Chains A and B, each alone.
Chain A
Amino acid sequence: MARLLSIFVLLVFVLHVASESTGEVVEQINGEEFTEELLFRPLPDRKVLSHFHFESKVPPTNSYGHHHRLFPKAIYQLVHKYRIREMELSFTQGRWNYESWGGFDPVSSSNAKPPGVELWAVFDVSADQVDASWKNLTHTLSGLFCASINFLESSTTYSAPDWSFRPLSSNLRYGSLPREAVCTENLTPWLKLLPCRDKSGLSSLMDRPSIYRGFYHSQRLHLTSGEFDPMASDHGIVLEQTLTVVLQPDALETRGRKLQPNWSMSSLFGKTVDGKCALAKSSNVYVQLEGSLVHNMKDEGDEGLESNLNFEFSISPDRIMKEVNSFHREHSSILYGFSIKDHHSKPFDLGFKWNLPVTWSCVKAPLRVSRFLMGSGNERGAIALSLQSTEWSQSLPKVDHNEEKCRLKVDVFQVVPWYIKVYYHTAKVYVDGVPQSFGDAIEKLSVSPSEDKVSPGVMEMSLKLPCDLKSASLTLEFDKGFLHIDEYPPDANQGFDIPSAIISYPDFQTCMQYKQDNASIKSPMVSKMQEKRKILSYTEVLLVPLTTPDFSMPYNVITITCTVFALYFGSLMNALRRRVGEEERLLKEKDKKSGKLPSLFSKLSAKLRGKPWDPPSSSSSSKFISSKTAALVNILILNCLGVNVMNLIEKAASILGKKLERTKFVKMLFGTDFEN
C-alpha cells in the first residue's frame, strides 16, 4: 500500500513539474526576469560598435526562496557564500580608442575596460574578513571562468581604493591582470549563465571567429545584490552581462575616399537571429546614432526623424527615442528600437544602409589621457601621465559663475607593483609646461606606499586643473627593484606590467535621458544609460623592463661553491698534515740526489737572464711534496679546482657575451646616456 502511494505521489509530482515548465514559457512569473538587448552604433572611423546586454534578476531570498528558474545558480551561491554586495568582472582584448569611439557616453564609460582581466568587488562582511572573502572569490571565479583570476589572490596584486575608484567605498577590493589572454574558453562559461546560452535569441549571433576578429572585445559581468542590505529589502540580485565588440564591416572605397560602410547583422556576425530567447521577457535591438552624427545629417536637409534621406534600415523601427536634456547643446542622439518577436517564419536580420556620405566625430572625454615611461636604463625611470585638452574641454567656460577661475577636477587612481618602487615625494605636476606647486594643483592625495613582497603601491590623487589648460602632466620617479629568482615569471625578459591607471572626472556625469514614446516597454539597457555615472577612462598598460638574471645562474653557483669548498679543504688538509721537521729532512735528502733535469733547467734559466749559474744547491724551485698520500690529495684537489676554474672561465665568457648588456656597465661607470 505504501509503495502504491509513493508511486502515486511521484506521478503527481512529475505531472506538476511538466505542466509548470510548459506554462512558464507563456506567462512570465513576476519574480525572475531575463531580458536581452543588442545595441549597434556606427563609429566615425567606419567601424560598428555592437553591445550585447543581458540582464537577469531575482527577487530577494526572504520573499522568494532559494529555488530559481532562470537565474544562474552558480552566481546565486557565489553571492551568498561571499556576501557580495557588488561585483564586476571584465575580460578584454584590444584597446578602446577613446578618441574615435568616444569617451563620454554611458556605453563607453562603463564598457571601455583595460586589457586583460579586471575585477572589483564590494563585500558585506566585517572589515577584517574582506581579504579572506576576496581570496576565496578569486579562486571561485577562476574556476568558473577558466581564467587565472586566482593570481589576484596574492596581496601584492590587489588594492583597496578609498575614494577615487568609487565614492565612499569601504570593503572594496580592486585587482587587474593586464597580461591575461582572453579567448573563447572565457566566453563559454559566461554564456552558460544565460538561460538560452547561445542556442537561441540574440546570443546566437555570437559567432566566435567574427567576435574575436574585432578591434575591441570586452565581456563583462556585473552584479549587484540587495540580499544583505536591510534597507533595500525589495532589491534582489541583478546580474548584468554585457559583451562589447567593435567590428569592421567590409568597407567601400570610391575614388580613393573611404566611405561609411553599410552593414547588417549577417554581414557583421555571419549569422541572423531566428527568434527571441523563449525565456526572455523582452528581446530588443537598438541602433544608436550619436548627437553629432544626427546634427551633421540635419545639415544635409531632412524633416522628421522617421524618414531620413541619409540612411535606411532594412526593417522599419518599432520605436524611436530622442535624447532629451542633452548635456551638450543641440546635439541629441537618437535611438531606434526594434523588438524581436517570437517569429520562426523569417529570420531577423537588421541591415543599415547609408545613402549619403557623412562624417562626424564622437564626444570625447574631457581630457585625452596617455601614460608613458620616461628615462632609460635598468636602474631608475619615471612614470608620466599626460593630460591633453580635447575640443570638449576647450568649450568649457573659462570663468565660473562666481567669478572664480574654473577648475577641472580629475581623479587619478593608480596601482603600481612593489618591484617598481615609486617615490611619491617626487610627484611633479606641470600645467602647460609650468611646474605647479603641490597645493595649487592637488586637492587631495592619499598614498599607500608599497611594501616589498606584501602589497602594491596605491596612489589616489585628486587634481584640480585650470579649465583653459592645453596640457598637463604628472610625473613620478621610481627605482626598479630586484626580484628573487623564483619570483620571475617564465617570460621575465618581456618586462613587467604596470596596470592601467583609472582617470575619472567627478564633476561630470554621463547620462542620456531618452524620451520614450512607448513607456510600457521598459528596457534595462536604456535605463542603465539614464543612470548618472562618473566618467571613467583607463590609460595604457605600461611595460617596464627590469633587470633579469641569467637563469642558468644556478650552474655557476654550483661551480663557485665547489671551488670554494675545494680551496677550503685543501688548505685545511695542508695545515693538518704538515710536519715541518719531517719535510726539511726529506728535502735535504732530495737535494743531495737531485737529478740532471732540474740542474739543466736552472742552467738554462740562468743563461737566459744573463747571470752566472749558481749551483743547484739553492733550490727555490726544487721542492717536492713529501708523502705519497698528501700528493694524491693535492692532485685530487688541484684537479677539482682546475675543472671548476675552467668551468667558471667558460661561464664567465658566455655571460659576458650573451646575457649581460654592456650598457649597464657603461652606465654604471659613466652615469651618462651618451646623448647628443
Chain B
Amino acid sequence: MASTPEIEGQKQKHRPIIRIGIFIIAHSLLVSVVCCVAGVLALFLLPVLAKKTYISENALMPGSASSMISDQDVSGATRFINELNSLKSKSQNSGIEIPRLIALHMANMGGEVSYHKFQTQQNNFHPLHFFTSPNAEANFVNKTCESFAINTIGIIRAPRGDGKESIVLVTPYNPLNLSQTEALSLGIAYSAFSLLTQVSWLAKDIIWLAADSQYGQYNSVAAWLRHYHSPSFDTCHESNLDSTVSVSVSVSDSFRRAGTMAAALVIKVADTSEEFEQDSLNIYAEASNGQMPNLDLINIASYLAVHGQGFRVRVEKFMSLVDATWLKVIGHVFEFVGKIARSLNPQWKFGVSVKEYVEGSATLVSSLYNQALGVPTGSHGAFRDYQVDAITMEISPKLSSISKSRQTEFLFRGGSLIEGVIRSVNNLLEKFHQSFFLYLLTSSNRFISVGVYMIPFLLLVAPLPIAAASLFSDANNSKNPPSTSFKSWRWLHPTKTVFLIHLWGAIVSLLPYFTYQIPDANPTSRLLTWISLSIFALIVLRSFFRSYSEWTLLKSVTVSASFVGLCLMSVINFATAEIGAMFLVPMCLMIRPWRVAGKIQSFFSFVLIVFGFPGSGFFVVRGLFGIENGSGFDEFWYWVESLWAWNSATYIYICLVHLPCWVLCIYILLHRC
C-alpha cells in the first residue's frame, strides 16, 4: 500500500480493523515467519502445558467400593486356564473345542450363552465406500458355510435392571493356536465374569465376548458389532457345534443382544520379554480417524490400576525418541526457562524436568502419529463406529514366565481391576459425556485438551491466508496488467488450474480400485501402475491448462486452497492436519519460480518439495520417529493399502489436499516467468 498515491490514500478512509488487516498483509513475510516459528515452538511446548487428568464425572466414583472378587472366582479361573491348556496340548484341534469349553463355563456360571459365526471379509477397496453407509442388507447375502470363526458370547442379565444398557468385555484369542497370554486374558475375564454373576449391584447387563481372532482381532469384534446392530438370519445352521456340546449346557442358537452399550473393555495380556519391577497396564485408545474415547474411561482405568492394584500404567510412546539428544536439549532449555519463571514468581507452575519432558514428548508424538494415521490401535476401534467408548487394557506381568502362585495373584489383581472399572461404569446413569473427547495424551495421567493443542495449528495455518492476500494484492498492483477489461477476473485462470489439479487428485485417489482389478500383481507393480496411471492422467489434464505468465496469482490460489483443505481436515482429524501443516505450510510459503528466486531460496524450495512428497514424507516420518521400516516400495504400498482398508480420512487428505498442492508447488517452481 506504500506505493498508493497520496490523494488516493486520503480519499479511501478505512476503518481501524481494515487498516490493521492491510498492515498485516503489507508485512506478510514477517508475520509468516513469526507465526511459523511460533507454531513450531508451541508444538514443542505442548508437553509442558499438559494438564493433570481428573475424573470429571462424579457419578463414576472409582474405587469407592472394595473389591469383592473372591478366591473362589480366581480358583475357578485357574481351573479354566488349566483346562484350556490341556485342550491345547491335545493332538487335533479344529478350533471348535475352545469356544465350546468357554461356552460351557459361561453357562455353568449362569450366563446366557450364544455363538456368533462369521466369516472374514476381504479388504476390498471400494471407491465409494467412503461416502455411503455400509449396507445392512449385506448380512443377508448367502454365504458359504465353509470357513467361519466362532465368537462365544455370554450375557449376564442384571437381576433388577431393566436391560436397556450393557457393558462389554472382549477377550480376543486364537482358537487354532491359543497362546499362554491369551489363556491368561480369558482367565482374567473368567474371574470377573464369575464374580459378576453373583453380585446384586448390577444395573447394566454384562456381555463377555470371547472373540475368535483367527481372522484378525478387529474383524471378529467388528463382525459381532455389525451383527448386533442389524437383524440376523443364520443361513447356515451347523449342527456339529451345538449337538456335541455337553448335555447340561443350553446354548441358544439365536443371536443374543443386551441393550445399548455403555462402554467396552478389551482385555489382553502382553507377552513381556523384559522384566519390570511391577505389573504394568498399557492403555490403547485410538480408534479410526483419530477418534478417542471419553477421557473419563481412561482416567478410571488408570486411577484404579495405580491406586487400587498398584499397576504401573503406561501409554504407548516412541522409544527411539526417549533417547534422542536433540529432545533432551530442548528439555533442558524448557527446564531452565521453568526455573527462571519460578524464581520470578513461585506461583507459576511452569516447567518440567528433562525426563518428564522427553517422556511426555515421546508419548505425545506417538499419540499424534496414531491419531493422524487414522488406523485404530486395537479391536476397541470397532466400538467407536457405534459411539461406544472403548479402550484396550493390556496387562503385562512383571515376569515373562509365570509360576503357579504368581498366576493366581495376577488373575486376582486383573480380575479386581476389571471389576472396579465395570463397577464404575455401572454407577454411571448417563453415557460418557462429562469429560473430553478431543485430547492428546502425554502420559497416562497428563493430557492436552483441544483448547491448547489447536494453538500451534492455528499459528501454523494463519500465514496462509495472509500470504494469499498479499500475493493477490501484489498481482493486482503489478506494473503491466495484460488485459485491462478483465482485470478483476484474472484470478479465474489460476483457479481453473488449481481446480484441475485437485480433480486430478480425486482421480488419483480412485485409481487403486482399478489397479486392484489387475489379477495377481505384486505390490511393486501395483504401485508402479498407480504412479504411471496418475502421471498419464496428469498429462491428459495438462492439455486443458493455458500457460500464462503470472505465477503470483497461481500461488495465491494454491495457498488458499491448501488453507481450506487443512482447515477442513483439522475438523475431521486434527492430528493429520497438524502433521500435514508442518509439511505443507513451509513449502507453500517458500515456493517461488526458480527464475525469480535466488539460488538459496530455490534450493530450500527444492528440499521442501522433496520432503513434501507424500512418499518421501512417509519415509522421513518413519525414520524420524524410529519406526522399523522395511525397504522399498512394498512398504509404502502396504501403508497406503492399510489406509484405505481402514477408511482413514488421511488417505483422502493426502490425495485431495496434499498431493495437488505438492504438484502445484512444482508447477510454480518450474514456472517460466
Complex: A376 Cα to B385 Cα, angstroms: 7
Asked if A657 CB lies within 8 Å of chain B CBs, one says: yes
Alpha-carbon gap, A525 to B345, bound state (A):
82
Q: Known contacts A374-B230, A656-B438; is A674 also within 8 Å of B10 by CB?
A: no
* Contacts of A361-378 to chain B: CB distance below 8 A: 368, 370, 372-378
Pairwise interchain contact B257-A370, C-beta atoms closer than 8 A: yes
Q: Which residues of B contact A368 (CB under 8 A)?
A: 254
Inter-chain CA distance A213–B291, complex, in Å, is 41
The residue on B at minimum CB distance from A540 is B163
Is B607's CB within 8 Å of the partner chain A?
Answer: no
Give chain B residues whose Cβ lies under 8 Å from the Cβ of A94.
Answer: 159-162
Minimum CB–CB distance for A49 against chain B, Å: 15
Q: Judging by beta carbons under 8 Å apart, are B254 and A471 in contact?
A: yes
Q: Which of A277-301 contact B (CB under 8 A)?
A: none
The smallest beta-carbon distance between B340 and chain A, in angstroms, is: 28
How far is A676 from B385 in the complex, measured between Cα atoms in Å?
Answer: 10
A611-B2 in contact (CB<8A): yes
Q: Chain B nearest CB: distance from A493 CB in Å?
A: 4
Q: Collect the chain B residues with CB atoms within 8 Å of residue A614's CB.
A: 2
Interface residues of B in 1-43 (CB under 8 A from A): 1-6, 9-10, 13-14, 19, 22-23, 26-27, 29-30
Do the beta carbons of A376 and B386 come within 8 Å of each other?
Answer: yes
Given contacts A494-B431, A541-B164, A670-B649, contact A657 B27 (CB under 8 A): no
Pairwise interchain contact A116-B162, C-beta atoms closer than 8 A: yes
User: In the bound complex, how far is the Cα of B26 from the Cα of A606, in angstroms?
Assistant: 10
> With A540-B163, A676-B647 in contact, is A665–B387 under 8 Å at CB?
no
Chain A 562-602 per-residue mask, 1 if CB under 8 angstroms from chain B, else 0: 00000000000000000000011001000000000000000
Q: Contact partner of B647 among A611, A619, A660, A674, CB < 8 A?
A: A674
Q: Which residues of A have CB within 8 Å of B646?
A: 674, 676
Residues 505-543 of chain A, each 1 if its beta carbon lies under 8 Å from chain B, else 0: 000000000000000000000000000000000001111
Contacting A at CB under 8 A, from B349-391, are 384-387
Q: Are B431 and A676 in contact (CB under 8 A)?
A: no
Contact A605–B257 (Cβ < 8 Å): no
* Contact among A430, A621, A661 for B23, CB-based, below 8 A: A621
CB distance from B226 to the nearest CB of A (A): 7
Interface string of A361-404 (1 = CB under 8 A from B): 00000001010111111100010101010000000000000000
In angstroms, Cα B36 to Cα A645, docked, is 24
A-side contacts of B133, CB under 8 Å: 671-673
A44 CB to closest chain B CB (Å) equals 10
Q: How many angstroms between the C-alpha atoms of A257 and B439 in the bound complex?
A: 50
Check if B542 is an interface residue, CB within 8 A of chain A.
no
In the complex, the answer to whether B451 meets A657 with C-beta atoms within 8 Å is yes
Q: Specify the main secondary structure of chain A where it touches its partner.
A: mixed
Q: Would A618 and B222 be within 8 Å (CB), given that A93-B160, A377-B387, A670-B131 are in contact?
A: no
A65 within 8 Å of B by Cβ? no
| CB closest chain-B residue, reference A428 | B231
A654–B162 touching, CB < 8 Å = no
Do A620 and B4 touch across chains, with their CB atoms under 8 A apart? yes
Contacts of B437 in A (CB 8 A): 657-658, 660-662
Q: Measured between alpha carbons, how far is A386 from B200 in the docked complex, in Å?
A: 29
Q: Is the interface of B mostly helix, strand, loop or mixed?
A: loop
Residues of B with C-beta under 8 A to A654: 451
User: Which chain B positions have C-beta within 8 A of A548?
Assistant: 433
Verify B288–A608 contact, CB threshold 8 A: no
Report if B157 contacts A (CB, 8 A).
yes
Q: Is A453 on the interface with B (CB-CB < 8 A)?
A: no
- Give bound CA distance, A256 to B289, whole Å: 48
Per-residue 0/1 for A632-676: is the Cβ within 8 Å of any B Cβ (1 yes, 0 no)?
Answer: 000000000000000000100110111111110110011111111
Bound-state Cα–Cα, A115 to B259, Å: 14
Judge whether A606 and B2 touch: CB under 8 Å: yes
Q: How far is the CA of A494 from the CA of B204 in the complex (A)?
A: 13
A430 contacts which chain B residues (CB < 8 A)?
140, 231, 233
The 8 Å CB contact of B231, one of A95, A473, A605, A673, is A473
Closest to A115 in B: B162
User: Chain A contacts of B386 at CB under 8 A?
Assistant: 376
Given A94-B160, A475-B231, CB of A618 within 8 Å of CB of B385 = no
B259's nearest neighbour on chain A, judged by CB, is A543
Quick check: A608 and B436 within 8 Å, CB to CB?
Answer: no
Cβ-based interface call for A491 (8 A): yes
B289: chain A residues within 8 A (beta carbon):
666, 674
Q: A430-B233, A663-B384, A666-B291 are in contact. List 5 more A-B contacts (CB 8 A).
A: A373-B229, A584-B10, A605-B26, A658-B436, A662-B571
User: Which residues of A come within 8 Å of B, CB atoms?
Assistant: 93-95, 97, 115-116, 178, 213, 215, 217, 256-257, 368, 370, 372-378, 382, 384, 386, 388, 430, 432-433, 471, 473, 475, 491-495, 497, 540-545, 548, 583-584, 587, 605-606, 608-609, 611, 614, 617-621, 623, 650, 653-654, 656-663, 665-666, 669-676
Between-chain CB contacts (< 8 Å), 26 pairs: A95-B162, A115-B162, A115-B163, A116-B162, A374-B229, A375-B136, A376-B387, A378-B387, A388-B254, A433-B140, A473-B231, A491-B429, A493-B430, A493-B431, A605-B26, A608-B27, A609-B29, A618-B2, A621-B23, A623-B14, A656-B450, A658-B434, A672-B133, A674-B289, A675-B226, A676-B646
